[in-house]
Each structure stands twice: as structure tokens, then as C-alpha cells.
Amino acid sequence: MLDVFNGAMASTMRRIGLLGGMSWESTALYYRLVNEEVRERLGGFHSARLVLASVDFAEVEVMQVAGDWTAAGALLADEAAALERAGAECLVLCTNTMHRVADAIEAAVDIPLLHLADVTADAVRLAGLDRIALLGTRFTMEQPFYADRLRSHGIDVLVPEGDDRTLVHDVIYDELVLGVVREESRAAYVDVVRRLVERGAQGVVLGCTEIELLVGPDDVPVPVFATTRLHALAAVDFALS
């Protein structure tokens, strides 16, 4: 009977659209997590029904540095529309920073975008917390698009002080997006989190998908909200709902 149920679930599984490449290391993590979760829930040989668009991060990074978010939004909106044409029934933008252009993406498609900040906020509230630290790229930590989305859920957001923000950002772009994971950088991140906890943070949001390659729940003394995993599980929830 269970095999019949699982077969029925698989036959109605909705197709996930992954918009990634920013960086490809984190997109690979999304792909693995989504498929592992589908297999865990359905068993057997099941895997996710999905389509993937992977952009050239070098092009996007130039737009980020130049502050040309309009061009970046247009690029990702085109990719999102292509995913919809390919049969995607929801969109998962596999990057925290590029949620800066979520509005442009949503305007280009008729399928839902599973907004990463909303998914993260739900997990923070479910844990009973209302004051968290946010780590991410300089864009995510200093611009309001992400923190304000979290605040709209009743969550107070703390970001690192100036030098710590620079350290967190530089490790992401100089190491993690290149697949480099250094113990010295892990120790530096742990120190950054410690200072945020001293300021009152009850937990820490890893608001850049690559940070999960460096820091995990065993590294810091407060709950860790790994946005990639949370986002991937939300995508599976949607696909199997």
C-alpha cells in the first residue's frame, strides 16, 4: 500500500525551477538537498522533477559591483521566464544576494517565487526567536531588501560592525565562491558570530548560500538557520503538496 501511495505522490510531483549559478557551488548544494529530501520522503529510487538554469556568475558579479541591479534583474527575469517555459511550476532563486531583484523576477513569470527571506523568517519564528544576526555578502548585510523582509515578519535583525562585514564579504568572494574552505576563515566567522551574540542575537541566519560550506550548527553557540537547506526543503514541500 505504501508503494502505491508513494507512486501516486510521485506522479503528482510538481516541477521545481532552480535559478542558479551564483555561485555554482551553492547551486550544486541545492540540487543535492532537494533530491535527497525527495528520496527521504518518497523512498526507493525517487528523485525530484526539476529544471535548472545556471548563469555565468562572472557577468552577475560585474553588475553587483557596478550597482547595476536593473541589468541584473533583467538577466535573471529572462532566465526565470525560460524556466517557466520549460515547465517549472515554482521558482527557487539559489542565492540570497540576488533576491535584491526578486520583484523583477516575479514580474516576469506567472508561477510563484519561493522567497528565501520568507522561508527563513518562518523557521526563525517557529524556533521562538525574534532577534537574529544576519551574515551575508556586503549587499545583503548593508542594503535593506533582505533585512526589511525579515523585519516584516516581526524579527529584529543585527548585522556585523564595519570591519566584520568586510571580513564576512571578502571570505565569500575571495574563497567560498571559488570552492576554497579555510579553517582560519571558519575561526574568524565564529568570532564574528560571538560578537553578535554579545549584542543580543538569539540565532544566526547564514544569509549567503556559500557560508554553509564554512559554518554549521556545531561551530557557534546559538541556533543556526542554514538558508540553503531551508529553501530546498520549502521547494520539496511545494513540489509534493
Sign, CA torsion 209/32/225/238: positive
Asked whether the beta carbons of 42 and 29 are under 8 A apart, the reply is no
Give the distance between the most distant pair of CA atoms in the chain.
58
User: Residues 228, 169, 172, 116: what is their CA dihedral angle, to the nearest 10 degrees?
Assistant: 10
Q: Is 49 helix (H, G, I), strand (E, B) or coil?
A: coil
Active site amino acids:
95, 208
Phi, psi (deg, nearest 5) at residue 58: -60, -40
Through-space distance between the first and last CA atoms of the chain, rounded to whole angstroms:
20
CB under 8 A, 24+ apart: contacts of 182-187? 185/214, 186/214, 186/215, 186/219
123 and 232 Cβ atoms separated by less than 8 Å = no
